[in-house]
């Protein structure tokens, strides 16, 4: 597996910072906006955005986690059932601006499930999408992000991994390419 760093520690920080300011640009003081991270890895993005936004704004930003396992379109099409993660939305989303957050936007199927899952909690005023990495031209559905950290061109055989200081030891985005023998 060949490994290529797309965003190093320094760029990672800059990117997250820029995303925060873009969010503030459209949502002012977040009085009517909530961030919702998609399980499992979007949750890490939300945690980072939350601490940065709160440092900049000096006030609490309401955040939650959403698990989409039961809304997936590939139930019984996989070998094994997927094990759900926790959903934690202890606020009302009715009439709110919701920013859905994930780490990598790829086929768009997760986001489609996320939109469905979100509606079980009420009718938001507006839903936007933020992704740290956009694997463009690889969509199965007509879904695009409103805020993009970094755009990459990839092959289906490749894998993009967002790694975190808290989990993997360092903030970075890595592209894994399988070695071909041809």
Partner 1 sequence: MNNLSVEHLTGIKDLTREDIELIFKTADSFKEVINRPIKKVPSLRDITIANLFFENSTRTRLSFELAEKRLSADVVNFSAASSSVKKGETLIDTVNNILSMKVDMVVMRHPNPGAAKFLSERIGAKVVNAGDGTHEHPTQALLDAFSIRERLGSVEGKKVVIVGDILHSRVALSNIYCLQKLGAEVMVCGPTTLIPKYIHELGVKVEHNLRAALEWCDVANMLRIQLERQDIKYFPSLREYSMQFGLTKEILDSLPKEIIVMHPGPINRGVEITSDVADSKQSIILQQVENGVAVRMAVIYLLASKIERQ
Question: CB of 157: closest distance to partner 1 in angstroms?
Answer: 25
Which C-beta is closer to partner 1: that of 21 or that of 75?
75
Question: CB of 103: closest distance to partner 1 in angstroms?
Answer: 21
Dist CA 180 CA 168 (whole Å): 27
Contact set with partner 1 (CB under 8 A)? 67, 69-72, 75-78, 80-87, 116-117, 119-122
Contact between residue 89 and residue 62 where contact means Cβ atoms under 8 Å apart = no
Which C-beta is closer to partner 1: that of 67 or that of 163?
67
Which C-beta is closer to partner 1: that of 84 or that of 178?
84
Contact between residue 162 and residue 141 where contact means Cβ atoms under 8 Å apart = no
Dist CA 16 CA 149 (whole Å): 7
Question: CB of 7: closest distance to partner 1 in angstroms?
Answer: 31
Contact between residue 68 and residue 97 where contact means Cβ atoms under 8 Å apart = no
Pull the structure tokens for residue 95.
Answer: 């009439």
Question: CB of 90: closest distance to partner 1 in angstroms?
Answer: 11
């Amino acid at each position: 597996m060949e490994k290529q760093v797309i965003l190093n520690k320094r760029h990672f920080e800059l990117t997250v910072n820029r995303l925060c300011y873009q969010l503030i640009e459209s949502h002012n003081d977040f009085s009517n906006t909530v961030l919702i991270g998609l399980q499992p890895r979007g949750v890490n993005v939300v945690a980072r955005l939350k601490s940065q936004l709160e440092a900049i704004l000096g006030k609490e930003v309401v955040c939650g986690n959403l698990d989409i396992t039961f809304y997936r379109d590939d139930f019984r099409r996989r070998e094994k059932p997927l094990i759900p993660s926790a959903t934690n939305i202890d606020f009302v989303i009715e009439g709110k601006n919701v920013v859905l957050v994930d780490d990598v936007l790829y086929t768009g199927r997760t986001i489609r499930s996320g939109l469905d899952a979100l509606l079980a909690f009420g009718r938001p005023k507006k839903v936007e999408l933020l992704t740290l990495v956009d694997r463009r031209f690889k969509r199965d559905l007509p879904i695009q992000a409103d805020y993009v950290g970094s755009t990459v061109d990839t092959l289906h055989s490749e894998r993009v991994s967002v790694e975190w200081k808290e989990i993997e030891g360092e903030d970075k985005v890595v592209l894994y390419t399988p070695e071909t023998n041809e």
